[in-house]
Amino acid sequence: MRIFDPHIHMTSRTTDDYEAMHAAGIRALVEPAFWLGQPRTGVSSFTDYFDSLVGWERFRAAQFGIAHHATIALNPKEANDPRCVPVLDVLERYLVKDGVVAVGEVGFDSMTAEEESAFRRQLELAGEHDLPVLVHTPHRDKLAGTRRTLELVAESGLPPERVLVDHLNETTVTLVDEVGCWAGFSIYPDTKMDEYRMVRILQERGPDRVLVNSAADWGRSDPLKTRKTGDAMLAAGFTDDDVDRVLWRNPVDFFGQSGRLLLDLPERAAADTFEGNSLLRGERATARTA
Ligand SMILES: [Zn+2]
């Protein structure tokens, strides 16, 4: 089983996780820029973090044979902090970099005016840079948050096929399907969506425009939830080809729209040095779309 986890925060994970992920079949991932738990107090905290996402973390992943990509944004939660909002003016520096495959995570956390303004600006940036967008939906008031999210996406004029609306459930997926955006599902260990509910959703709506992720981060989470979803799909009668489509070809199709996937990574890159890694020198690899 080859797996592309389209949403996982490896900065918060260990080398044991990388080893277990590789053993489970994970060969590529996307790490969205997000909230680190401890509030940031200024723009340089963001830029150090963004540099780490496109540099150090990509190198670390490569040592375990996993292609690492990032999405860059001011996350919804910190859009409420006036010390953080000026980072919007430096995002463009990162949105042109290799391996940056979308603007994200953007969207709503508490549905404030400040969040809406940062969300609108970042939808514009996605249009200006011809990049897909990864949109986070709030865990509280998810239905209202998803409705408002889709209104702003429609107003932005971005093509729906370039927008991924994430952290969906049985209720909110219908709204997203109606407008033709991609539907993202985060599979959690004990709350919210699990792999069996995911299988039932796939049985009902089919595998089109669906991405499944672990959203593993610094909280209780499981970086192998993509693999567990693949196993649950097979146990429920889906074919190997269905699993490959959901766990590999769909994320490649969605993020491939950026033209910046880095899937030509050598199987073992452990001998590379951080400075000597060609991926880190910014050489563009061609996206493999099959
Ligand atoms: Zn996340």
Query: What is the pLDDT, as a whole number, of residue 192?
Result: 77
Q: How many domains does the chain have?
A: 1
**Is residue 283 assigned to a domain?**
no
CA of 84 to the centre of ligand 1 (A): 18
Query: What is the pLDDT, as a whole number, of residue 139?
Result: 84
CA of 137 to the centre of ligand 1 (A): 10
**Is residue 288 assigned to a domain?**
no
**Is residue 74 assigned to a domain?**
yes
In this prediction, residue 287 has a pLDDT band, given cuts at 50, 70 and 90, of very low
**Is residue 222 assigned to a domain?**
yes
> How many angstroms separate the Cα of 289 from the Cα of each of 5, 60, 283?
16, 24, 18
Q: How far is 38 from 271, CA to CA, in rounded Å?
A: 34
Q: Which domain holds residue 164?
A: 3-262
Q: Could you tell me the pTM of the whole model?
A: 0.91
Yes or no: say if 162 and 133 are a contact pair by the CB < 8 Å rule: yes
**Is residue 287 assigned to a domain?**
no
Record the tokens describing residue 3, joined without a space.
Answer: 């797996």
CA of 104 to the centre of ligand 1 (A): 9
Structure confidence by residue, pLDDT tens digits, 190-246? 877 999 999 999 999 999 999 999 999 999 999 999 999 999 999 999 999 999 999
- pLDDT above 60: residue 277: no
Residue percentage of the chain with pLDDT more than 70: 91
- pLDDT above 80: residue 165: yes
Surrounding ion ligand 1 within 5 Å at CB are: 34, 215
CA of 226 to the centre of ligand 1 (A): 15
**Is residue 111 assigned to a domain?**
yes
CA of 186 to the centre of ligand 1 (A): 9
- pLDDT above 80: residue 275: no
**Is residue 187 assigned to a domain?**
yes
CA of 262 to the centre of ligand 1 (A): 21
CA of 8 to the centre of ligand 1 (A): 6
Structure confidence by residue, pLDDT tens digits, 111-142? 999 999 999 999 999 999 999 999 999 988 99
Computed over every residue of the chain, the mean pLDDT equals 92
Q: How far is 198 from 192, CA to CA, in rounded Å?
A: 11
Burial of 165 (0-12, 13-18, 19+ CB in 10 A): buried
Mean pLDDT score, 144-166:
97
CA of 107 to the centre of ligand 1 (A): 11
CA of 49 to the centre of ligand 1 (A): 15
CA of 78 to the centre of ligand 1 (A): 13
Check which CATH number belongs to the domain holding 191 and give it: 3.20.20.140
CA of 213 to the centre of ligand 1 (A): 10
Yes or no: say if 250 and 211 are a contact pair by the CB < 8 Å rule: yes
CA of 214 to the centre of ligand 1 (A): 9
**Is residue 279 assigned to a domain?**
no
CA of 66 to the centre of ligand 1 (A): 19
CA of 35 to the centre of ligand 1 (A): 8
CA of 271 to the centre of ligand 1 (A): 30
- pLDDT above 50: residue 285: no
CA of 277 to the centre of ligand 1 (A): 27
